[in-house]
Amino acid sequence: MSRLNDATSAIPTFAVITSYNSRLGSKQLMFGKNPIRPPVAGDDGQLLQIVEIFPTLQGEGPFTGHPAVFVRLGGCNLACGFCDTEFEEFSPMRVGDVVTQVADLSREHHERVRRLVVLTGGEPMRQNIVPLCEQLLAHGFTVQIETNGTLWRAVPEGVHIVCSPKASQGVYHSLRSDVLSRVDALKFIISDTQDAYREVGEVGQHGRDIAVYVQPMDEYDAAKNAANLARAAMLAQRDGYLLSLQTHKIMGIP
Ligand code: SF4
Protein backbone atom coordinates (compact mmCIF):
# COMPACT_ATOMS: atom_id res chain seq x y z
CA MET A 1 0.00 0.00 0.00
CA SER A 2 1.34 3.45 -0.89
CA ARG A 3 2.06 6.18 1.66
CA LEU A 4 -0.85 8.10 0.17
CA ASN A 5 -3.28 5.25 0.74
CA ASP A 6 -1.93 4.73 4.25
CA ALA A 7 -2.54 8.38 5.03
CA THR A 8 -6.04 8.61 3.58
CA SER A 9 -7.29 5.35 5.09
CA ALA A 10 -6.28 6.59 8.56
CA ILE A 11 -8.83 9.42 8.46
CA PRO A 12 -12.20 8.29 9.95
CA THR A 13 -14.19 10.24 7.39
CA PHE A 14 -17.27 8.08 7.05
CA ALA A 15 -18.18 7.41 10.65
CA VAL A 16 -17.96 11.10 11.46
CA ILE A 17 -19.94 12.12 8.38
CA THR A 18 -22.69 9.76 9.54
CA SER A 19 -22.84 11.57 12.87
CA TYR A 20 -22.75 14.94 11.07
CA ASN A 21 -25.66 13.84 8.89
CA SER A 22 -27.77 12.79 11.85
CA ARG A 23 -27.12 16.19 13.45
CA LEU A 24 -28.60 17.85 10.38
CA GLY A 25 -31.91 16.26 11.38
CA SER A 26 -34.89 17.30 9.28
CA LYS A 27 -33.15 20.08 7.38
CA GLN A 28 -34.02 19.91 3.69
CA LEU A 29 -30.60 19.93 2.03
CA MET A 30 -30.63 21.38 -1.48
CA PHE A 31 -28.77 18.82 -3.63
CA GLY A 32 -29.53 20.99 -6.67
CA LYS A 33 -33.30 21.21 -6.02
CA ASN A 34 -33.26 24.87 -4.99
CA PRO A 35 -34.81 27.64 -7.12
CA ILE A 36 -32.28 29.78 -8.98
CA ARG A 37 -32.46 33.19 -7.33
CA PRO A 38 -30.91 36.21 -9.10
CA PRO A 39 -29.24 39.07 -7.24
CA VAL A 40 -31.66 41.07 -5.11
CA ALA A 41 -32.51 44.21 -7.10
CA GLY A 42 -32.57 47.70 -5.57
CA ASP A 43 -31.09 46.33 -2.38
CA ASP A 44 -29.80 48.99 0.05
CA GLY A 45 -28.45 46.29 2.35
CA GLN A 46 -30.54 47.36 5.34
CA LEU A 47 -32.79 44.29 5.34
CA LEU A 48 -31.14 40.94 4.68
CA GLN A 49 -32.55 37.47 4.01
CA ILE A 50 -30.98 35.42 6.80
CA VAL A 51 -31.16 31.64 7.28
CA GLU A 52 -29.18 31.33 10.51
CA ILE A 53 -26.46 32.87 12.67
CA PHE A 54 -24.42 30.48 14.79
CA PRO A 55 -21.04 30.13 16.53
CA THR A 56 -18.71 27.34 15.44
CA LEU A 57 -15.18 26.71 14.18
CA GLN A 58 -14.41 27.53 10.56
CA GLY A 59 -13.98 24.01 9.19
CA GLU A 60 -12.33 24.53 5.81
CA GLY A 61 -10.08 26.77 3.72
CA PRO A 62 -7.49 29.29 4.92
CA PHE A 63 -9.21 30.06 8.26
CA THR A 64 -9.59 26.39 9.28
CA GLY A 65 -9.73 26.01 13.03
CA HIS A 66 -10.62 29.62 13.84
CA PRO A 67 -13.54 30.19 16.21
CA ALA A 68 -16.11 32.02 14.13
CA VAL A 69 -19.68 33.19 13.93
CA PHE A 70 -21.34 32.10 10.70
CA VAL A 71 -24.02 34.22 9.04
CA ARG A 72 -25.85 32.18 6.43
CA LEU A 73 -27.69 34.25 3.83
CA GLY A 74 -30.65 32.88 1.89
CA GLY A 75 -30.87 31.80 -1.74
CA CYS A 76 -28.37 30.97 -4.45
CA ASN A 77 -27.97 31.86 -8.12
CA LEU A 78 -26.68 28.35 -8.88
CA ALA A 79 -28.06 24.86 -8.15
CA CYS A 80 -25.24 22.34 -7.68
CA GLY A 81 -26.20 18.68 -7.48
CA PHE A 82 -23.83 17.97 -4.58
CA CYS A 83 -24.87 20.99 -2.47
CA ASP A 84 -25.46 19.75 1.09
CA THR A 85 -26.65 23.03 2.56
CA GLU A 86 -30.12 24.32 3.45
CA PHE A 87 -30.48 27.97 2.43
CA GLU A 88 -34.11 28.43 1.42
CA GLU A 89 -35.68 28.87 4.87
CA PHE A 90 -34.78 32.51 5.42
CA SER A 91 -36.36 35.49 7.15
CA PRO A 92 -35.81 39.25 6.81
CA MET A 93 -33.50 40.73 9.42
CA ARG A 94 -32.25 44.29 9.85
CA VAL A 95 -28.52 44.68 9.36
CA GLY A 96 -28.08 46.23 12.81
CA ASP A 97 -29.80 43.23 14.40
CA VAL A 98 -27.47 40.86 12.53
CA VAL A 99 -24.44 42.71 13.89
CA THR A 100 -25.88 42.72 17.42
CA GLN A 101 -26.51 38.97 17.28
CA VAL A 102 -23.01 38.30 15.94
CA ALA A 103 -21.51 40.44 18.72
CA ASP A 104 -23.55 38.61 21.39
CA LEU A 105 -22.49 35.20 20.07
CA SER A 106 -18.80 36.12 19.93
CA ARG A 107 -18.70 37.66 23.41
CA GLU A 108 -17.55 34.45 25.03
CA HIS A 109 -14.47 34.16 22.82
CA HIS A 110 -11.15 34.74 24.50
CA GLU A 111 -9.89 38.20 23.62
CA ARG A 112 -6.71 36.78 22.04
CA VAL A 113 -8.72 34.73 19.56
CA ARG A 114 -9.38 36.32 16.18
CA ARG A 115 -12.98 37.55 16.08
CA LEU A 116 -13.94 36.00 12.76
CA VAL A 117 -17.29 36.30 11.02
CA VAL A 118 -17.98 34.14 7.97
CA LEU A 119 -20.65 35.28 5.52
CA THR A 120 -21.89 32.26 3.62
CA GLY A 121 -25.01 30.93 1.93
CA GLY A 122 -26.36 30.07 -0.51
CA GLU A 123 -24.58 32.85 -2.33
CA PRO A 124 -24.04 35.87 -0.06
CA MET A 125 -23.19 38.20 -2.98
CA ARG A 126 -26.84 37.96 -4.13
CA GLN A 127 -27.60 40.54 -1.48
CA ASN A 128 -26.06 43.90 -0.72
CA ILE A 129 -23.77 42.83 2.10
CA VAL A 130 -21.66 45.99 1.90
CA PRO A 131 -23.30 47.73 4.91
CA LEU A 132 -23.05 44.49 6.91
CA CYS A 133 -19.33 44.16 6.11
CA GLU A 134 -18.71 47.82 6.97
CA GLN A 135 -20.44 47.49 10.34
CA LEU A 136 -18.68 44.22 11.20
CA LEU A 137 -15.27 45.71 10.36
CA ALA A 138 -16.12 48.81 12.43
CA HIS A 139 -16.81 46.47 15.37
CA GLY A 140 -13.33 44.95 15.00
CA PHE A 141 -14.29 41.66 13.39
CA THR A 142 -12.29 39.88 10.73
CA VAL A 143 -14.75 39.19 7.92
CA GLN A 144 -14.52 36.32 5.45
CA ILE A 145 -16.95 35.72 2.58
CA GLU A 146 -17.57 32.35 0.91
CA THR A 147 -18.67 32.89 -2.70
CA ASN A 148 -19.02 30.98 -5.95
CA GLY A 149 -17.40 33.93 -7.77
CA THR A 150 -20.17 34.66 -10.29
CA LEU A 151 -21.60 37.71 -8.50
CA TRP A 152 -19.97 40.77 -6.95
CA ARG A 153 -20.67 43.50 -4.42
CA ALA A 154 -18.06 46.17 -3.75
CA VAL A 155 -17.20 45.01 -0.26
CA PRO A 156 -14.56 46.94 1.74
CA GLU A 157 -10.88 46.21 1.11
CA GLY A 158 -10.34 44.56 4.49
CA VAL A 159 -12.76 41.72 3.76
CA HIS A 160 -11.27 38.29 2.96
CA ILE A 161 -12.82 36.48 0.01
CA VAL A 162 -12.67 32.71 -0.47
CA CYS A 163 -14.13 31.56 -3.78
CA SER A 164 -15.22 28.03 -4.60
CA PRO A 165 -15.72 27.87 -8.40
CA LYS A 166 -18.63 25.76 -9.57
CA ALA A 167 -19.38 23.98 -12.84
CA SER A 168 -22.56 23.37 -14.80
CA GLN A 169 -22.77 20.76 -17.56
CA GLY A 170 -19.07 20.03 -17.26
CA VAL A 171 -17.82 23.60 -17.56
CA TYR A 172 -16.74 25.97 -14.80
CA HIS A 173 -18.65 29.20 -14.49
CA SER A 174 -16.36 32.15 -15.28
CA LEU A 175 -15.25 34.11 -12.28
CA ARG A 176 -15.87 37.83 -12.38
CA SER A 177 -12.70 39.89 -12.84
CA ASP A 178 -13.57 41.97 -9.76
CA VAL A 179 -13.73 38.77 -7.72
CA LEU A 180 -10.44 37.52 -9.17
CA SER A 181 -8.69 40.78 -8.33
CA ARG A 182 -9.79 40.55 -4.69
CA VAL A 183 -9.88 36.86 -3.88
CA ASP A 184 -7.61 35.48 -1.12
CA ALA A 185 -8.04 31.83 -2.00
CA LEU A 186 -9.72 29.52 -4.48
CA LYS A 187 -11.19 26.29 -3.18
CA PHE A 188 -11.81 23.60 -5.81
CA ILE A 189 -14.16 20.74 -4.92
CA ILE A 190 -12.70 17.43 -6.12
CA SER A 191 -14.61 14.33 -7.19
CA ASP A 192 -13.06 11.16 -8.58
CA THR A 193 -16.09 10.40 -10.78
CA GLN A 194 -17.67 13.73 -11.79
CA ASP A 195 -15.73 14.86 -14.86
CA ALA A 196 -15.98 18.61 -14.21
CA TYR A 197 -14.52 18.17 -10.73
CA ARG A 198 -11.68 15.70 -11.37
CA GLU A 199 -9.04 18.40 -11.88
CA VAL A 200 -8.40 21.96 -10.78
CA GLY A 201 -9.93 24.13 -13.50
CA GLU A 202 -8.43 27.29 -15.00
CA VAL A 203 -10.82 30.05 -13.98
CA GLY A 204 -8.46 32.98 -14.42
CA GLN A 205 -6.03 32.26 -11.57
CA HIS A 206 -3.05 31.56 -13.85
CA GLY A 207 -0.28 34.12 -13.26
CA ARG A 208 -1.96 35.54 -10.15
CA ASP A 209 -0.77 35.12 -6.59
CA ILE A 210 -3.84 33.28 -5.29
CA ALA A 211 -3.73 30.33 -2.87
CA VAL A 212 -5.45 27.28 -4.39
CA TYR A 213 -7.04 24.59 -2.21
CA VAL A 214 -8.41 21.21 -3.22
CA GLN A 215 -11.20 19.76 -1.09
CA PRO A 216 -12.81 16.33 -1.53
CA MET A 217 -16.48 16.45 -2.44
CA ASP A 218 -18.82 14.86 0.09
CA GLU A 219 -21.05 12.59 -2.01
CA TYR A 220 -22.66 10.89 1.01
CA ASP A 221 -21.29 7.56 -0.18
CA ALA A 222 -18.39 5.91 1.67
CA ALA A 223 -16.68 4.44 -1.39
CA LYS A 224 -17.01 7.63 -3.46
CA ASN A 225 -15.81 9.77 -0.56
CA ALA A 226 -12.72 7.59 -0.11
CA ALA A 227 -11.91 7.98 -3.81
CA ASN A 228 -12.53 11.74 -3.66
CA LEU A 229 -10.22 12.11 -0.66
CA ALA A 230 -7.49 10.07 -2.33
CA ARG A 231 -7.80 12.11 -5.54
CA ALA A 232 -7.66 15.47 -3.71
CA ALA A 233 -4.59 14.30 -1.77
CA MET A 234 -2.97 13.12 -5.02
CA LEU A 235 -3.63 16.47 -6.77
CA ALA A 236 -2.22 18.38 -3.79
CA GLN A 237 0.98 16.33 -3.87
CA ARG A 238 1.31 16.12 -7.65
CA ASP A 239 0.50 19.72 -8.53
CA GLY A 240 1.31 21.64 -5.35
CA TYR A 241 -2.14 22.62 -4.10
CA LEU A 242 -3.24 22.99 -0.48
CA LEU A 243 -5.46 20.22 0.90
CA SER A 244 -8.64 21.34 2.64
CA LEU A 245 -10.84 18.90 4.55
CA GLN A 246 -14.30 19.64 5.92
CA THR A 247 -13.06 19.38 9.49
CA HIS A 248 -16.38 20.54 10.98
CA LYS A 249 -17.84 17.26 9.69
CA ILE A 250 -14.96 15.32 11.25
CA MET A 251 -15.67 17.14 14.53
CA GLY A 252 -19.46 16.75 14.19
CA ILE A 253 -20.13 20.46 14.70
CA PRO A 254 -22.23 22.88 12.61
S1 SF4 B 1 -22.98 27.65 -5.39
FE2 SF4 B 1 -22.61 26.78 -3.35
S3 SF4 B 1 -24.48 27.27 -2.15
FE4 SF4 B 1 -24.99 27.57 -4.34
S5 SF4 B 1 -25.92 25.62 -4.96
FE6 SF4 B 1 -23.69 25.54 -5.47
S7 SF4 B 1 -22.73 24.57 -3.67
FE8 SF4 B 1 -24.79 25.25 -3.04
CATH of the domain at 31: 3.20.20.70
| Confidence band of 19 (pLDDT split at 50, 70, 90) | very low
Structural domain includes residue 204: no
Look at residue 77 and tell me if it is in a domain: yes
| pLDDT(112) > 90 | no
Let me know if residue 193 belongs to a domain: no
Any domain includes 142:
yes
pLDDT exceeds 60 at position 210: yes
Nearest alpha carbon, ligand 1 atom 7: 83
- Residue 160 CA to ligand 1 centre (angstroms): 19
Q: Which residues line ligand 1 (CB under 6 A)?
A: 30, 76, 78-80, 83, 85, 121-123, 148, 166
d(C-alpha 206, C-alpha 222), whole Å: 34
Q: How many domains does the chain have?
A: 1
Q: Tell me if 140 is assigned to some domain.
A: yes
User: Quick one: pLDDT at residue 108?
Assistant: 64
DSSP string over 72-93: EEP-BS---TT-----S--EEE
Listed range (122-126, 136-140, 204-208) with the worst mean pLDDT: 204-208
Residues 200, 187: Cα–Cα separation, whole Å: 9
**At 25, is the pLDDT very low, low, confident or very high (cuts 50, 70, 90)?**
low
What's the pTM value of the predicted model, to 2 decimals? 0.89
Q: How far is the CA of 110 from the centre of ligand 1 (A)?
A: 32
At residue 231, does pLDDT exceed 50?
A: yes
